[in-house]
Structure 1
Amino acid sequence: MSMLLPDAVAPLGALFLIILSFFTSALTAAVGIGGGVVLLAALTFVAPPAALVPVHGVVQLGSNTGRAIVLARNVALRLIVPYALGAIVGAILGGMLVVELPGEVILLAIGVTILVTTWMKMPPLGKGETGVLAGGGLVATFLTMFVGATGPFVMMILRQSGLPHTRLVATHAMAMVIQHGLKVVAFTALGFAFADWAPLMIAMIASGFAGTLVGARLLHKLPEATLKKALNIVLTLIAIQLILRALSELI
């Protein structure tokens, strides 16, 4: 198995990520958000900092594509079109500015982003207004080039449209497909060696799709409010841990 893995990843760490991909995809399919952030945090223990955002992007592209396919009939395309236009601009700007940051800076940025997006309350911006969606796509895709964990922010933008839960989860999945797809294109153009990570990413995408099928069956069957409160606590603890790790290396 080790022959199929990048030098920086141990077989046990790879197995952990493959299993976790199943559960995080199931979580996101059932609740709408959270799984991608948890997976990104787990990657910080297994993968080198420079690989975190691009590898996470490919895995999340696969996971969200599966979710978007399973829930395709529920996607609100009227929200997706302006979001996609903004996302294209954000990817171009991010691709022009992205640099290889020190590992501790990446961890700090991810931790702060998770903390802010978990607890930030979005002010009323209008129900599905084109400018809001385009601006959200631009900002989210620009930020994801550096920190990866922008799913909760995208959900806050889309939630303003007042969509019912199933349509919201489906539309969020499609928005993340666009965002992560553009990010992967950008990192490919920047020369990231995706081939070295291909076997692990394929295995994580496959287990993630299985998790999506399970999670989609649990829509409306789980106590959503309770799960979200618990998820917020977990994400907060993850963010604090990442920030403390980063600060211990910076100081």
Structure 2
Amino acid sequence: MIDLITAGLDWPVVVALLLTSCAASFITAAFGIGGGGVMLAVLASLLPPLAIIPVHGVVQLGSNAGRSVLFLRYMRWELFWPFAIGSVIGVAVGGMTVVQLDPGWLQIAVGAFILWTVFGKTPGIFKRSGPVAGAFSSFLTMFIGGTGPFVAAYVKAQDLERHSHVATQAVLMTLQHGLKSLMFGFLGFAFSEWAGFIAALIVAGFVGTWLGKHMLARINEKRFKLALNAILTVLSLRLIWSGVRLVFGI
């Protein structure tokens, strides 16, 4: 039974990841974004390389699904279907891509675009085009995993009230991570070996989401948007720096 939960990892690693999952979900529920990047960074340092993106995808699927349930009444459904159509196309193309794209340049490009949406004028087509945002972000997530900031930039462009922002972000990311997980399963990743461990991380994440929801209720709109922009800036700079290190071997 214990082995089902630990997936062969040492207990200190398991405990660290459970705490990280709780903290990451708290951050995302309270501020709209950021937890997925934190979770990916910690997983990348503690899990085998081939397991990082698939495990992260399912954990984020569970985390976002829990957040979707808690915030569902605030969801802006008119944004869902255009994004969903694009996401199906993006994941399918990403899964069928034989040539491995350079993840370094992808990270630099995504990071630079997010900075543009934070400090510049958001392109009109990006605000209006859910299919484009869904396709591009879902394609990228098959290669670099953490595309939550890109989706958050799209949701931010809709200028939603803070509860609607968190709800819409959660539902769109649930869809995206669900499609990605299905594709990785189709491509042969052995999720069964990690099932108990993933389930424990999802439960820890739900606790963090519940705590974060109560924090969100205490934040006004101005502070929420300031926090969102600050987190997006930090995550985009991290993406750019990671990309630079990969491209130039720093």
For 1:179, which of 169, 176, 179 is the aligned residue? 176
Residue 11 in structure 1 maps to residue 14 in structure 2: no
Give CA-to-partner distance per residue, 1:54-86, whole Å, 9 cap, x none.
Answer: 100000000000000000111111100110011
Shift of 1:158: 1.8
1:14–1:74: structure 2 CA closer, same or farther, 3 Å change rule?
same
Separation in 2 of the partners of 1:177 and 1:247? 31
Identical residues among aligned pairs (%)? 37
1:243–1:197: structure 2 CA closer, same or farther, 3 Å change rule?
same
Residue 33 in structure 1 maps to residue 33 in structure 2: yes
- Corresponding residue number in structure 2 for 1:47: 47
Give CA-to-partner distance per residue, 1:70-105, whole Å, 9 cap, x none.
Answer: 00111111100110011011111011016789xxx7
Instruction: Give the AA of the match of 2:63.
Output: S
Residue 119 in structure 1 maps to residue 115 in structure 2: yes
Give CA-to-partner distance per residue, 1:6-52, whole Å, 9 cap, x none.
Answer: 44x33211211110100110110011001001110111110122111
Contact 2:151–2:169 (CA under 8 A) maintained in structure 1: yes
1:127–1:145: structure 2 CA closer, same or farther, 3 Å change rule?
closer
**Larger CA deviation: 158-167 vs 136-145:** 158-167
Any stretches of 5+ residues in structure 1 without a counterpart? none
What TM-score do the two structures reach when normalised by structure 2?
A: 0.85
- Corresponding residue number in structure 2 for 1:76: 76
Separation in 1 of the partners of 2:198 and 2:149? 23
- Corresponding residue number in structure 2 for 1:91: 91
Shift of 1:245: 6.8
Shift of 1:138: 0.4
- Corresponding residue number in structure 1 for 2:56: 56
Residue 211 in structure 1 maps to residue 211 in structure 2: no
Separation in 2 of the partners of 1:73 and 1:10? 40
For 1:154, which of 143, 151, 156 is the aligned residue? 151
Give CA-to-partner distance per residue, 1:150-178, whole Å, 9 cap, x none.
Answer: 11111111222222111111011000000
Instruction: Give the AA of the match of 1:45.
Output: S
Contact 1:83–1:136 (CA under 8 A) maintained in structure 2: yes
**Larger CA deviation: 42-51 vs 229-238:** 229-238
CA RMSD in angstroms, aligned pairs only: 2.8
Shift of 1:120: 3.4
1:178–1:203: structure 2 CA closer, same or farther, 3 Å change rule?
same
Aligned residues: 243
Contact 1:127–1:161 (CA under 8 A) maintained in structure 2: no
Separation in 1 of the partners of 2:12 and 2:144? 25
Instruction: Give the AA of the match of 2:23.
Output: F
1:40–1:92: structure 2 CA closer, same or farther, 3 Å change rule?
same
Any stretches of 5+ residues in structure 2 without a counterpart? none
SS in 1 for 2:92: helix
Contact 2:4–2:194 (CA under 8 A) maintained in structure 1: no
Instruction: Give the AA of the match of 2:176.
Output: Q
Separation in 2 of the partners of 1:227 and 1:201? 29
Separation in 2 of the partners of 1:220 and 1:138? 32
What TM-score do the two structures reach when normalised by structure 1?
A: 0.84
Contact 2:105–2:247 (CA under 8 A) maintained in structure 1: no
SS in 2 for 1:146: helix
- Corresponding residue number in structure 1 for 2:161: 164
1:76–1:3: structure 2 CA closer, same or farther, 3 Å change rule?
closer
Separation in 2 of the partners of 1:110 and 1:218? 34
